[in-house]
Amino acid sequence: MESAVATQAVSGGAQAGMPHREGPSATAIPSYLDVHYWWAYVHPNAVKVFERQWLANLILWGNYARLRDAALDLLGAVLPGRTLQVACAYGDLTPHLVERVSAGDGTVDIVDVLPVQLDNLRRKLAADAPVRLVETDSSALPLPDASYDRVLLFFLLHEQPESWRRRTLAEAVRVLKPGGRLVIVDYAKPHWWNPLRYGFAPVLAALEPFALDLWREDVSGWMPALPPGQKIERRTYFGGLYQALVIGR
């Protein structure tokens, strides 16, 4: 995703008091998105097709709510301070995240490189939601070092080529406060007995060409150097097809 410096700018059509979008009026679309994911995120009709809770759940083999709640529970029941969600997500993940942030009198920033996705997300949020939407690249965040108490990456890494994935993880760690928490939920290699290990791989290879990287390698291999003794907690779901990682700083 091409980097962008955030500047104050309310997106077109935004109403007073609604979550606003910051960033330049036009950001170059990363080549990998334009080539491989135009059908899912970039084209204006993509939102009309994929912004359906039942479809998001179907794509995750009926596990959307389970994985959403796992991610949120790993962040915490109440979320004071500052939270960062890296990339928008179809479905009701962010409204549920905002509920926990509001309960803690905190704030949440959501970054995405695609204006169509930010505008779609804004429509899902209440007018008084403590949310800032920032149009920018996950691999070059225009955000200060050590400025967030927690960071969430929900099914983002499998969509990125390795170079972007490494930079995205480095940025997520960079903006995390000492003692903060990074939560990652994404694909993983299913257990040997899971039939999806054999039948689902060709589908991912065709539709999401970078996803199988997460079957072949551990996410920790793309992480920047962590402090000595720092541990990465990992959990798996649905026969190992999905994983959740928690990294403290």
Domains annotated for the chain, with CATH where assigned, are: 33-248 (3.40.50.150)
pTM of this prediction exceeds 0.85: yes
User: How would DSSP label each residue in 112-147?
Assistant: ES-HHHHHHHHHHS-TT--EEEEE--TTS--S-TT-
pLDDT value for 47: 97
Q: Could you report the per-residue pLDDT of 104-152, keeping only the tens digit for each?
A: 999 999 999 999 999 999 999 999 999 999 999 999 999 999 999 999 9
1-15, 182-196, 214-228: range with highest mean pLDDT: 182-196
Instruction: Give the residue-averaged pLDDT of 48-55.
Output: 97
pLDDT value for 230: 76
pLDDT value for 29: 85
Residues 6+ apart with CB under 8 A from 110: 84, 85, 87, 88, 94, 118, 121, 131, 132, 133, 134
User: What pLDDT band is residue 22 in, cutting at 50, 70 and 90?
Assistant: low
Least confident of 72-86, 142-156, 173-187, 226-240: 226-240
pLDDT at 9 over 90: no
Q: Could you report the per-residue pLDDT of 198-219, keeping only the tens digit for each?
A: 999 999 999 999 999 999 999 9
User: What pLDDT band is residue 18 in, cutting at 50, 70 and 90?
Assistant: low
- Helices 64-75 and 93-103, interaxial angle, to 10°? 30
Least confident of 2-11, 60-69, 228-237: 2-11
pLDDT at 23 over 80: no
Instruction: Give the residue-averaged pLDDT of 63-79.
Output: 98
User: Are 160 and 219 spatial neighbours (Cβ–Cβ below 8 Å)?
Assistant: no
pLDDT value for 11: 34
Percent over 90 (pLDDT), the chain: 84
Burial class (CB in 10 A: 0-12, 13-18, 19+), 185: buried
